[in-house]
C-alpha cells in the first residue's frame, strides 16, 4: 500500500504539470490560430487538390456564411473559423456549386467543377444516394465528418508534439525530475501524506472544472483552471523541492547529470500524454486506495 501511495503522489504531480501544459498549449493554439489552420488544411484537401482548382476553395471561404463564422482577430483582421459543422459545409458547398441556379442543375454543375478529385467524389456520393437529393446531402455531411475525424487525428498528433516541447520547458523551469520526485515522496512520509491528501481532494472537487477546461470552447473555465493549477503547484512546490532555489550540484558527476536529464525527459513525456490521461489514472488509483484493494 505504501508503494501505491507514492504512485498516487507522482501521478498527482504529473497531473498538475500536465494541466499547466494544457493552459500554455491553449494560449499557443489561440495565438497561432492552430485549429483554424487545421480546418483550412482539411478544406483544402477536400476542395482544392490542385492549384487550378483553388478557385473553388477561395469561393468557399468568400461565402457569407463562412465569413460569418470566421474569427475576429486584432486590428480588424479575420481568420478561419475553428470549426464548421457538417450541415453548414453542405450548405456552403451547394451554394458555390449551383451559383444561384436550380437544384435540377446540380449534376451538370458537378461535372463542370475544376477539381477532378472533388468531382469524382461528389459523383460517387450522388450515385450512392440513388440521385435522391436528401440522401445526397446526408452523404456529403458524412463525407465531411469522416474528413474532420481524420483532421482531428492530425491535430491531436501535432498538438502532442508541441506538448512534448512544452513539457520539456516545464520540466526544466520547475526542475521537475520524476526520479527525484519519487525519491522525495518515498523518503518523506509527511510530504507524501500532504500530497496524497491534495490528490484525493482534487479528484473529489475538481472533476467538473477539468472536464470543462480541456474543452477549448470554455475560455472562462480555462482561466479558472489556470488559477487552480497555480495554487496547487505552489502548494506542492516547496515540499517536493520543485524549483532551483535549494539545488546544490557541487557533488554531481556525469552519471548524476545523465540521470537528471533522463528524469526531465520522463516528466516531459508524461506531460505529453495529456491531463485527461493522468486524471483518469489518478482517480482509479485513489479509488483502489480508498477501497483497500491491491492494484
My answer on whether 24 and 71 are in the same domain is no
The total of structural domains in the chain comes to 2
Domain boundary among 130, 149, 168: 149
Cell of 203: 479528484
**How many secondary structure helices (H) and strands (E) does the chain include?**
14, 2
pLDDT digits (tens, 9 = 90+) for 116-138: 889 999 999 999 999 898 999 99
What end-to-end distance do the CA atoms of the chain give, in Å? 9
Is the domain of 170 the same as that of 133?
no
Residues 25 and 44 in one domain: no
Domain that holds residue 95: 35-149
User: For 257-269, what is each residue's pLDDT tens digit?
Assistant: 999 999 999 999 9
Q: What is the pLDDT of residue 101?
A: 72
Buried b (16+ CB within 10 A) or exposed e, 98-137: eeeeeeeebeebbeebebeebeebbeebbeebeeeeeebb
Is residue 46's pLDDT more than 70? yes
Band (249; pLDDT cuts 50, 70, 90): confident
Mean of the pLDDT values across residues 189-201?
A: 90
Over residues 82-98, the mean pLDDT reads 93
Mean pLDDT (the chain) is: 85
Q: What is the pLDDT of residue 220?
A: 45
160 and 285 within one domain? yes
Q: 48 and 128 share a domain?
A: yes
Mean pLDDT, residues 149-173? 94
203 and 165: one domain?
yes
The stretch 216-229 carries a mean pLDDT of: 52
Give the DSSP letter string of 208-246. HHHHHHTSTT-HHHHHHHHHHHHHHHHHHHHHHT-SSTT
Residue 137 sits in the same domain as residue 108 = yes
Q: Both 90 and 160 in a single domain?
A: no
Question: 47 and 25: one domain?
Answer: no
CA-to-CA distance for 206 and 219, rounded, in angstroms?
16
Q: What is the C-alpha separation between 47 and 96, in angstroms, rounded?
A: 11
- Tell me the three state secondary structure of residue 78: strand
Last residue of a domain, one of 95, 127, 149: 149
Residue written as cell 453542405? Answer: 90
Instruction: Give yes or no: residues 145 and 160 share one domain.
Output: no
Amino acid at each position: 500500500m505504501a508503494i501505491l501511495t507514492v504512485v498516487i503522489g507522482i501521478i498527482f504531480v504529473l497531473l498538475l504539470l500536465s494541466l499547466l501544459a494544457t493552459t500554455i498549449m491553449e494560449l499557443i493554439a489561440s495565438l497561432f490560430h492552430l485549429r483554424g489552420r487545421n480546418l483550412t488544411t482539411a478544406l483544402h484537401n477536400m476542395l482544392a487538390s490542385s492549384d487550378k482548382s483553388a478557385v473553388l476553395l477561395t469561393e468557399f471561404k468568400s461565402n457569407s456564411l463562412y465569413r460569418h463564422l470566421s474569427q475576429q482577430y486584432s486590428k480588424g483582421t479575420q481568420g478561419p473559423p475553428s470549426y464548421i459543422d457538417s450541415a453548414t459545409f453542405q450548405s456552403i458547398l451547394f451554394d458555390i456549386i449551383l451559383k444561384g441556379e436550380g437544384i435540377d442543375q446540380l449534376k451538370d454543375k458537378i461535372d463542370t467543377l475544376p477539381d477532378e478529385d472533388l468531382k469524382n467524389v461528389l459523383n460517387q456520393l450522388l450515385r450512392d444516394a440513388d440521385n435522391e437529393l436528401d440522401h445526397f446531402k446526408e452523404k456529403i455531411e458524412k463525407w465531411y465528418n469522416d474528413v474532420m475525424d481524420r483532421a482531428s487525428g492530425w491535430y491531436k498528433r501535432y498538438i502532442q508534439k508541441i506538448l512534448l516541447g512544452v513539457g520539456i520547458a516545464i520540466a526544466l523551469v520547475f526542475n521537475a525530475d520524476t526520479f527525484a520526485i519519487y525519491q522525495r515522496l518515498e523518503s518523506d512520509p509527511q510530504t507524501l501524506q500532504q500530497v496524497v491528501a491534495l490528490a484525493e481532494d482534487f479528484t473529489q472537487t475538481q472533476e467538473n472544472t477539468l472536464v470543462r477546461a480541456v474543452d477549448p470552447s470554455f475560455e472562462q473555465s480555462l482561466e479558472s483552471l489556470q488559477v487552480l493549477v497555480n495554487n496547487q503547484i505552489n502548494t506542492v512546490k516547496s515540499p517536493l523541492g520543485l524549483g532551483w532555489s535549494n539545488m546544490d550540484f557541487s557533488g554531481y558527476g556525469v552519471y548524476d547529470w545523465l540521470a537528471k536529464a533522463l528524469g526531465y525527459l520522463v516528466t516531459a513525456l508524461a506531460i505529453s500524454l495529456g491531463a485527461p490521461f493522468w486524471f483518469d489514472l489518478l482517480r482509479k488509483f485513489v479509488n483502489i486506495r480508498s477501497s483497500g484493494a491491491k492494484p
